[in-house]
Amino acid sequence: MIVAVLLVAAVLPAAFGPSDPLALHGDARLLPPSHQHWLGTDEVGRDLYSRVVYGAQYSLRAALIVVMAAAGIGTLLGGVGAYRSRILDEIVMRSADIMLSFPPLIMAMALVAALGPSLEHAALALAVIWWPQYARLVRSQVLTVSEMTFVEAAVATGLGPWRILVRHILPNCWGSLAVKSTLDFGYVVLLLAALSFIGLGARPPIPEWGALITTGRQYLLDYWWYPTFPGLAIFVTVMGCNLLGDGLRDFLDPQG
């Protein structure tokens, strides 16, 4: 339910946000939460509730692009390498080992600094450093499934290797991929917010959650609501993704 509400808010923010998130109101600066402004206002009078709601569009869309790109690239390289080409498999795994040896946030910071600060570059950097995890997961799944009886039967009937990989092996890997993608979604939202927080992600006036926190921290002592509610939005998103991932893992567990 949490994830569903967040996704609907990201797709239809106007249905949840009562006002324009970029509209300036000089006479309503830094107002506390009230019936007119549910989460208060920021330093230029913009409604914080609307900015948090519209921020879901930026944060969740960027996270979805990162996870889909990383899962697609990792599945392709890991699956093809494990089942079809030992040379490709060796190249992919050694490349993955090198990339996984660096902390993801540090490597993302380096890539975004080289490309230039923006939310698009932050998403691209995370996708580049995230695919090795999926490549290793898919590789292990493919190696396991390819030894099963139904795959041997498909080989015996004369089916081509590509058809066996696409029709028989990869569909049996979707469960693990779904669980990992769901858990990663929340982590990517957190990393995107971290990049924006240090000035390497979304730029003002984009109401991305990390960018809202980095601006609102200047007002934390006197106007607590400014950085608090964007932070709670990140917390709820990550918690919802973790709960959904745990639920999917229990549902798809063959031993359950």
The answer to whether 214 and 199 are in contact (CB under 8 A) is yes
Q: What is the mean pLDDT of residues 236-255?
A: 87
What pLDDT digit, counting tens, does each position of 135-154 carry? Answer: 999 999 999 998 889 888 98
CA distances from 164 to 115, 152, 178 (A): 40, 10, 21
What is the CATH T-level fold of the domain 2-223, as seen in this structure?
MetI-like fold (1.10.3720)
Taking Cα atoms as reference points, which of 196, 199, 180, 203 lies closest to residue 234? 196
Which pLDDT score, from 0 to 100, does residue 84 have? 81
pLDDT tens per residue, range 169-194: 988 888 889 999 999 999 999 999 99
Whole-number pLDDT of residue 242? 94
Q: Are 135 and 74 in contact (CB under 8 A)?
A: yes
| pLDDT over 70 percentage in the chain | 98
